[in-house]
Amino acid sequence: MKLKIGYQELIAQAMEEIETVPLLQAKDFLEDPNTVFVDIRDVRELEREGMIPNALHAPRGMLEFWVDPDSPYFKPIFGEGKRLVLYCASAWRSALATETLKRMGVPAVCHLEGGFTAWKKADLPIATKPQKS
């Protein structure tokens, strides 16, 4: 089966439309109360690899629903006007998700260069996934 467009082209197109935040700039955002890191990876990835400290876990499959105030699944943190820094393992899913949120009208959304894999490789802070109470 030949597709009209493959995942690599989708990612390349998204990258042309979105803001990518370099690792060291993102590290500075850790102390910014107006920035929320949003981890869109599967929960098993968080449990296995850890996550950026204080990041919000928003599974990729629910992200659009959590962001939309008209959705029954809306999460108020997404309506606070804070900068959202999305990330996944390799910056592929986050590129596509960032493009989607930008298309939806989310004003301050970007994604992390290289994803969590690059974050870990740069020896930047990592936290364990918080346990549900």
Lookup: tokens for 72: 């029954």
| CA neighbor of 21 nearest in space, from 129, 103, 122 | 122
3-state helix vs strand vs coil in the chain, percent to 5: 40, 15, 45
Query: At CA 60, angle to CA 102 and CA 11, rounded to 5?
Result: 55
User: pTM for the full model?
Assistant: 0.94
Report the C-alpha gap between 49 and 104 in whole angstroms: 30
Spans of all domains in the chain: 18-56+72-121
**What's the mean pLDDT in 112-121?**
98
Spatial contact of 40 and 59, defined as CB atoms under 8 Å apart: yes
Spatial contact of 45 and 102, defined as CB atoms under 8 Å apart: no
| CA neighbor of 95 nearest in space, from 112, 119, 81 | 112
Q: Is 91 exposed, middle or buried (0-12, 13-18, 19+ CB in 10 A)?
A: buried
**18-56+72-121, which class in CATH?**
alpha beta
DSSP state of 55: P
Model confidence over 2-50: pLDDT tens digits? 889 999 999 999 999 999 999 999 999 999 999 999 999 999 999 999 9
Model confidence over 67-101: pLDDT tens digits? 999 999 999 999 999 999 999 999 999 999 999 99
Q: How confident is the model at residue 133 (pLDDT cuts 50, 70, 90)?
A: low
